[in-house]
């Protein structure tokens, strides 16, 4: 049986928890004699779901951020599934809430598909298993377990799902697009390898086109680095556009000559906005 448990508030990870374990003093006093009593900081309207998969036996932690209107409405909401939430959940949550407030994005439920560890080095090892070495198995975890769990727990619009992947997460997102495009309507790929797409040409485009039949998919591929990165990005998007696949709207974005690490938070706002643009 699938095992899942929900906690009503998601604490801001290890750094902020330091206040509660004694690394920082519980009470601080400045020269004026005023005492400070720090307390843990939490993110409003967020929840954490622990899940043990029956597909692969691995443990996951879903980080869920609900839109501001969720508690006062009966409407359903599109869901943005975020890979690598240990690196991006906070920024994406605040970004989509801010733009949702101004009507520049639809109000979204954000679901980070992560792991029960806040150690980045541990996360890198865990993600490699899912994103690279066992991609098809991870697709089954998402489609057979995570989707039904999220849809049965929250008021979701199951016809409108997005996936956001960075680096190896983007490699996985492209693998989903090529092989199971019906799982998501919107794909954001940030500074990732693109061999899943390039090896479609010239012999496998027909199969890809058939898998897209009846769908309406948006793809944004963002890359960072020197001028060659910009050229490769443009070439990839042009190659897709030349196929005239009506069901796929592909666009590219060059993030500038920034580092791979910096590309994540440079690409998130522009990429998410692009795939939700009318």
- Its pTM stands at 0.88
- Percent of the chain scored above 70 by pLDDT? 88
Rounded CA separation 191/155 (Å):
32
* Per-residue confidence (pLDDT) for residue 40, from 0 to 100: 87
d(CA 218, CA 220): 7
Q: What's the CA gap between 11 and 48, in Å, rounded?
A: 9
118: helix, strand or coil:
coil
Position 78 scores a pLDDT of 98
**Beta-bridge partners for 113:** 62, 83
Number of C-alpha atoms within 13 angstroms, CB side, residue 134?
15
Which pLDDT belongs to residue 2?
Answer: 56
Which candidate, 137, 163, 136, places its Cα nearest to that of 150? 163
Tell me how far CA of residue 168 lies from CA of 61, 175, 196, in angstroms.
19, 11, 12
Domains of the chain in start order, with CATH, are 3-9+45-276 (3.40.50.1820)
pLDDT, position 15: 39
Please, which pLDDT band fits residue 196 given cuts at 50, 70 and 90? confident
Residue identified by tokens 């990165």 is: 229
Grade residue 4 by pLDDT with cuts at 50, 70 and 90: low
Residue 62 has phi, psi (to 5 degrees) of: -90, 130
Pairing mode, strands 59-65 and 3-7: unpaired
**Stretch among 49-53, 136-140, 178-182, 234-238 having the lowest mean pLDDT:** 234-238
Report pLDDT digits (tens) over 49-103.
Answer: 999 999 999 999 999 999 999 999 999 999 999 999 999 999 999 999 999 999 9
Position 214 scores a pLDDT of 95
User: 74-99: buried (b, 16+ CB within 10 Å) or exposed (e) per residue?
Assistant: eeebbbbbbbbbbbbbbebbebbbeb
Print the SS3 string covering 180-200: CHHHCCEEEEECCCCHHHHCC
- The token pair that represents 259 in the structure block: 């580092």
């Amino acid at each position: 049986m699938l095992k899942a448990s929900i906690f009503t508030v998601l604490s801001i990870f290890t750094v902020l928890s330091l206040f509660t374990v004694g690394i920082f003093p519980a009470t601080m006093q400045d020269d004026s004699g005023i005492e400070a009593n720090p307390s843990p900081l939490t993110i409003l309207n967020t929840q954490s779901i622990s899940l043990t998969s029956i597909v692969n036996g691995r443990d996951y932690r879903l980080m869920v951020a609900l839109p501001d209107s969720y508690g006062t409405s009966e409407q359903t909401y599109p869901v943005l599934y975020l890979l690598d939430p240990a690196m991006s959940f906070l920024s994406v949550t605040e970004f989509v809430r801010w733009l949702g407030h101004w009507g520049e994005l639809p109000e979204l439920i954000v679901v980070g598909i992560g792991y029960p560890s806040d150690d980045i080095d541990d996360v890198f090892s865990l993600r490699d298993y899912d994103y690279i070495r066992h991609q098809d198995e991870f697709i089954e975890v998402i489609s057979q377990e995570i989707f039904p769990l999220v849809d049965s727990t929250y008021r979701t619009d199951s016809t409108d799902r997005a996936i956001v992947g960075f680096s190896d997460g983007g490699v996985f997102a492209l693998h989903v697009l090529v092989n199971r495009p019906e799982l998501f309507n919107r794909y954001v790929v940030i500074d990732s390898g693109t061999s899943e797409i390039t090896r479609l040409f010239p012999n496998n485009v027909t199969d890809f086109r058939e898998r897209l039949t009846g769908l309406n998919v948006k793809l944004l591929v963002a890359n960072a680095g020197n001028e060659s990165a910009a050229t490769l990005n443009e070439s990839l998007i042009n190659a897709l556009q030349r196929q005239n696949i009506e069901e796929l709207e592909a666009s590219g974005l060059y993030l500038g000559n920034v580092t791979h690490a910096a590309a994540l938070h440079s690409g998130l706002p522009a990429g998410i906005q692009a795939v939700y643009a009318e």
